[in-house]
Amino acid sequence: MPMAALPPDLTGLSLAEIARLAAEAKLPPVESWNPAHCGDSEMRIARDGTWFHQGAPIGRPAMVKLFSTILRREPDGSYVLVTPVEKLGIRVDDAPFVAVEVKSEGEGADRRLAFRLNTGDLIVAGPDHPLRFEERADGSHPYLLVRKGLEALVGRSVYYELANIALDEGATPPGLWSDGMFFRVA
């Protein structure tokens, strides 16, 4: 499952290159694995995207990347790490991923927005990866669907970039286009 090393940010990549890299990423078929639940992994993903094991941060990005590929959301809303032979619970404080960077190309309905996650994954927002904005007492919380049941919390600085794009576009209601889909900004 090795993927070509990505640059540290998206500035040197076109949206076409980002979309190609995202499409090439192969993930294990966790949806088809149904082993018995074996217990708790003693792992937690904090709101800022930091992974912990037994209370200590996991310092190896490659290990976090590996674990992120076997993460699955269960029908009851819980999260598990799953392999063909075991399933272990994992606590997720908010969303399991964080969108840490965005790249925008085009304008209006022709715009495409690509996101880099804290795990290095690349996602192009659109019909298969919608953006949603959840209003809470402390403000708007934007999320991006990564894959079945797994979302990325859009980091605050990235959210501000999205808000600026939406304001510059001047749509009513305020929102963003990406890959032919309009996402209303709350």
**pLDDT single digits (tens) 41-59:** 999 999 999 999 999 999 9
Mean pLDDT, rounded, for 113-129: 95
Look over the chain and give the mean of its residue pLDDT values, rounded to a whole number.
89
Q: What does the pLDDT look like over 53-78, one tens digit per residue?
A: 999 999 999 999 999 999 999 999 99
pTM of the predicted protein model: 0.86
110: helix, coil or strand?
helix
Q: What local confidence, expressed as pLDDT, does residue 4 receive?
A: 45
Q: Which residue has the higher pLDDT, 6 or 181?
A: 181
List domains and CATH numbers for the chain. 27-92 (3.10.540.10), 97-184 (2.30.270.10)
Q: What local confidence, expressed as pLDDT, does residue 23 receive?
A: 64
Beta carbons of 119 and 69 less than 8 angstroms apart: no
Q: What local confidence, expressed as pLDDT, does residue 172 receive?
A: 87
The count of other CB atoms within 10 Å of the CB of residue 49 is 22
Q: Is the peptide bond before 173 cis (omega within 30 degrees of 0)?
A: yes
Q: What local confidence, expressed as pLDDT, does residue 2 receive?
A: 40
